[in-house]
Amino acid sequence: MTATATTDLVTHYINGTWTTDWAGLTNELRNPATGQVTGRVALAGLDEVDRAVAAARAAFETYSHTTIADRVAMFSRIAAEFTRRAEDMAIAVTTDMGIPIAGSRIAVGAAILQFTSMIDTLPGYPFHDVAGDHIIDKDPVGVAALIPPWNYPSLQMAEKVAPALAAGCTVILKPAEIVSHAGEVFAQIMDAAGVPAGVFNLLVGKGSTVGTALSKHPGVDMVAFTGSTDVGIQVQKDAADTVKRVSQELGGKSAHIVLPDADLDLAVTTAVNGVMSNSGQTCAAPTRTLVPAPLLDDFLRRVKSAVDGLTVGDPMKEVDLGPVANQTQWHTVQDYIQIGLDEGATLITGGPGKPDPTASGWYVRPTVFADVTNNMRIAREEIFGPVMSVITYTGIDDAIRIANDSEYGLAGYVTGEDTDQAKRVAARIRAGQVVVNAVTPNLFAPFGGYKHSGNGRIWGTAGLEEYLETKAIVGQI
Ligand code: NAP
Ligand code: MG
C-alpha cells in the first residue's frame, strides 16, 4: 500500500469535505493475500446518511441545471485526474480484494472509459426532443444512492457515478465495505477534479446499515444497486414505500455453449479465462460450460492442461489468480467444491483446500467438474469462485434449453466457427449480454440481467437512461 494513495482511517466525504469529527465505530480492513490489517474504515451511521442526503439534495438544485458543456468539462477533469491516479487506484483495489494487479489495471482503464465515453455521448444525446406535436424532455431522476459490490470496484463505482452525474443527478456512493480504500481513492479523484460540493458524496460502512438507510430514505429518489440477488430483493423492498426507482444488477450463472464446429482452442480459452480470472469473482462468468458429447474428452483434456498451468499467488506479482476476497468467500467456495463432490460430479482438476496449505492468504485451487447435470447445485447456484461446471449436451436445442434453464439471465457465451449459426444461438439465450467467439464483454453495449439477474442496464447510452425521467410537454405549444 502506498502511503499517499490511502489513509489508515477511511472516512466519509460529505458536501465537499472529509469528515474529521467522526467518532463512532470502526472495522478493520484486511489484505486477503496476507491476512494483514491494512487500515480501518469508519462505519457511517444514520446521522452521516442524513447529512449526505441533505448535501446531495441541496446540490441537485443547481447541478441539475448545469449545461452539457459544463458537465463535459467536469468529466474531462475527472478523466485526467483518474488517469493520474490510475496506479493508486489499481493498488488500492488489489490490496482491498486481491485481484492480480494486471487485472486491476485493466479494470481501472475500463473505469476511466466510463467518464470518457460520457464525454462522447453527452453532446449528441436528445435531452430535448420535438416528437410530432409534443416535446420530450429528459430530466435527471434526482438524488441517486449508488451501491456497488467489491469484485471490480473501480469499474463498478465509475459505471454508476459517470452516468448519474452525466444525467444531472447528484449522488451518494456507498462502496462495499471491504473495498473502502478504493472508495477513498475514488472520492479523492472527484475532489481533486473540482466536482462541486454535494454533487458527489461518499459514505463508507456497512451495507446493512448505510445501504438500508439510503434505500429507505425519503430524500433519495433512486437506488442503483449491484450485488447478490438476495440483497437486491431486500433493497427493492426497502425502497418500495418511497416509490424509488431501483436499478438492479444481480447475480448470474451464465452458460457458455461450445458448438460442434467450435475452434477448441478458442473454446478452452473462453471457458478458462471466463471462469478463472479474478478467481471466479465475476458476475458474468461463464460458469456452466456446455459441450457436445463427441467433443467432451478432447475438451476436458485441454481444459485440464490449461487450468493446471494457471499460477495462483501474490496478486502484486504476475499471477493468473490471486486470493478470493475474504475468509467468508473462501469458505463459501470450499463448501461448493464439497457440494460438487457430494452431488457426484467428476473432479477433473483442483478440489478442496489451498494450493499451498501453508499460505496465510485466502487462495483457492482452480477447479473443474465434469459430468455435471443442470439440476445440481453447482450448476444452479452462483459460487463466485474459480469453479467450472462442464455439462454435456446432445443437440443445439438441448444446449439452448439447458442454457435457459436457470433462474438467472445475466450473460451468455457462444463459441462456433459458423458465425451466423452462433448468432442465431445467441439470439435464443435469455440473457442481457451474449458474447460470440470471445470472452470480454463490450463496455459500450448495454449490460444487465433478465430474470433474477436484475432489471437495470449499465454502460453506454442505456446506462445513462437509467438516471433519466421522461417528461412530455403537450397541448397548444
Ligand atoms: P452483496 O453482498 O449483495 O453486496 C452488494 C452491495 O450491497 C455492497 O456494497 C454491500 O455493502 C451492500 N449491501 C449489503 N447489504 C445491504 C442492504 N441490506 N441494503 C443495501 N445495501 C446492502 O454482494 P457482494 O457480495 O458485494 O457481491 C457479489 C454479488 O454481486 C454476486 O452475486 C455477483 O453476481 C453480483 N454482481 C453482479 C453484477 C452485475 O452487473 N449484475 C456485477 C458484479 C457483481 P457491504 O458489502 O458493505 O455490506
Ligand atoms: Mg456481501
Q: What is the DSSP string of 180-221?
A: HHHHHHHHHHHHHTTPPTTTEEE--S-IIIIIHHHHH-TT--
**Which sign, positive or negative, has the C-alpha torsion 176, 177, 182, 186?**
positive
Q: Which ligand 1 atom sits closest to the C-alpha of 447?
A: 40
- Residue that is written with C-alpha cell 494513495 in the block: 5
Helix (H) or strand (E) holding 131: strand 128-131
CA pair distance 369, 153, nearest whole angstrom = 29
Average pLDDT over the chain, rounded to an integer = 97
Mean pLDDT of 155-180: 98
Based on the domain organization, do 277 and 244 belong to the same domain?
no
Based on the domain organization, do 259 and 211 belong to the same domain?
no
Q: How many CA atoms lie within 13 A of 412 on its CB side?
A: 29
Q: Is 3 contained in some domain?
A: no
Number of domains in the chain: 2
Question: Please, which pLDDT band fits residue 20 given cuts at 50, 70 and 90?
Answer: confident
Please name which ligand lies nearest the alpha carbon of 228: 1
Q: Is 326 contained in some domain?
A: yes
Q: Does ligand 1 lie within 6 Å of residue 246's CB atom? A: no
> Using one digit for the tens of pLDDT, what is the confidence trace for 36-93?
999 999 999 999 999 999 999 999 999 999 999 999 999 999 999 999 999 999 999 9
Q: Which ligand 1 atom sits closest to the C-alpha of 232?
A: 3
Based on the domain organization, do 21 and 155 belong to the same domain?
yes
- What pLDDT is attached to residue 4? 46
Contact 137, 128 (CB under 8 A): yes
Based on the domain organization, do 210 and 241 belong to the same domain?
yes
Question: Please, which pLDDT band fits residue 23 given cuts at 50, 70 and 90?
Answer: low
Based on the domain organization, do 289 and 211 belong to the same domain?
no
Q: Does ligand 1 lie within 6 Å of residue 408's CB atom? A: no
Mean pLDDT of 271-294: 98
Q: Is 448 contained in some domain?
A: no
The answer on pLDDT for 110 being more than 80 is yes
Based on the domain organization, do 400 and 464 belong to the same domain?
no
Based on the domain organization, do 275 and 423 belong to the same domain?
yes
Residue 17, CA distances (Å) to 41, 117, 210, 302, 440 in order: 17, 28, 19, 54, 38
SS3 state of residue 109? helix
- What pLDDT is attached to residue 2? 42
Q: What is the DSSP string of 254-303?
A: -EEEE-TT--HHHHHHHHHHHHHGGGG--TT---EEEEEGGGHHHHHHHH
CA of 172 to the centre of ligand 2 (A): 19
Q: Whose CA is nearest to atom 35 of ligand 1?
A: 227
Contact 418, 261 (CB under 8 A): yes
SS3 state of residue 21? coil
CA pair distance 198, 45, nearest whole angstrom = 18
Percent of the chain residues topping a pLDDT of 70 = 98
CA of 452 to the centre of ligand 1 (A): 14
Query: Which residue, among 223, 232, 289, 236, has the nearest Cα to 439 in the 3D structure?
Result: 289
> Using one digit for the tens of pLDDT, what is the confidence trace for 423-440?
999 999 999 999 999 999
CA pair distance 70, 49, nearest whole angstrom = 28
CA of 289 to the centre of ligand 1 (A): 25
CA of 149 to the centre of ligand 2 (A): 7
The answer on pLDDT for 269 being more than 50 is yes
- What pLDDT is attached to residue 7? 80
Query: Which residue, among 460, 281, 475, 299, has the nearest Cα to 370 in the 3D structure?
Result: 299
- What pLDDT is attached to residue 114? 98
CA pair distance 417, 273, nearest whole angstrom = 19
Exposure string over 82-103, b if 16+ CB within 10 A, otherwise e: beebbebbbbbbbbbbbbbbeb
- What pLDDT is attached to residue 24? 80
Please name which ligand lies nearest the alpha carbon of 206: 1
Residue 230, CA distances (Å) to 227, 248, 283, 407, 474 in order: 9, 11, 14, 13, 42
Contact 161, 74 (CB under 8 A): no
Residue 379, CA distances (Å) to 287, 376, 410 in order: 8, 5, 15
- In sequence order, what are the beta bridge partners of 17? 14
- What pLDDT is attached to residue 5? 57
H helix intervals, 64-195: 68-84, 86-97, 101-121, 153-167, 180-192
- Contacts of residue 36, defined as CB under 8 A and 6 or more positions apart, other chains included, come to 30
CA of 251 to the centre of ligand 1 (A): 9
Question: Please, which pLDDT band fits residue 255 given cuts at 50, 70 and 90?
Answer: very high
Q: Is 1 contained in some domain?
A: no
Question: Please, which pLDDT band fits residue 149 given cuts at 50, 70 and 90?
Answer: very high
Of 228, 410, 442, the one to substitute when testing ligand 1's pocket (max ligand atoms within 8 A of C-beta) is 228
Q: Does ligand 1 lie within 6 Å of residue 459's CB atom? A: no
**Which sign, positive or negative, has the C-alpha torsion 286, 224, 27, 103?**
positive
Based on the domain organization, do 209 and 246 belong to the same domain?
yes
Q: Does ligand 1 lie within 6 Å of residue 441's CB atom? A: no
> Using one digit for the tens of pLDDT, what is the confidence trace for 118-131?
999 999 999 999 98
Please identify every residue annotated as catalytic.
249, 283
Q: How many CA atoms lie within 13 A of 112 on its CB side?
A: 19
Q: Is 243 contained in some domain?
A: yes
Q: Whose CA is nearest to atom 42 of ligand 1?
A: 283
Task: Tell me the CATH number at 400.
Answer: 3.40.309.10
Mean pLDDT of 241-254: 98
Mean pLDDT of 214-222: 98
Based on the domain organization, do 367 and 463 belong to the same domain?
no
Q: Whose CA is nearest to atom 4 of ligand 1?
A: 227
Based on the domain organization, do 434 and 461 belong to the same domain?
no
CA pair distance 380, 165, nearest whole angstrom = 37
Task: Tell me the CATH number at 170.
Answer: 3.40.605.10
The answer on pLDDT for 398 being more than 70 is yes
Mean pLDDT of 393-401: 97
SS3 state of residue 451? strand
Mean pLDDT of 439-466: 97
CA pair distance 167, 221, nearest whole angstrom = 14
Q: Write out the residue range of the structural domain in which residue 219 sits.
A: 9-250+454-473
- In sequence order, what are the beta bridge partners of 393? 292
* Cα 200 → chain centroid: 20
CA of 293 to the centre of ligand 1 (A): 37
Based on the domain organization, do 44 and 155 belong to the same domain?
yes
Based on the domain organization, do 90 and 144 belong to the same domain?
yes
Q: Is 90 contained in some domain?
A: yes
Of 155, 202, 226, 452, the one to substitute when testing ligand 1's pocket (max ligand atoms within 8 A of C-beta) is 226
Question: Please, which pLDDT band fits residue 377 given cuts at 50, 70 and 90?
Answer: very high
Q: Is 413 contained in some domain?
A: yes
Q: Does ligand 1 lie within 6 Å of residue 177's CB atom? A: yes
- Residue that is written with C-alpha cell 482491498 in the block: 96
Q: Does ligand 1 lie within 6 Å of residue 119's CB atom? A: no
Q: Is 4 contained in some domain?
A: no
- In sequence order, what are the beta bridge partners of 291? 392
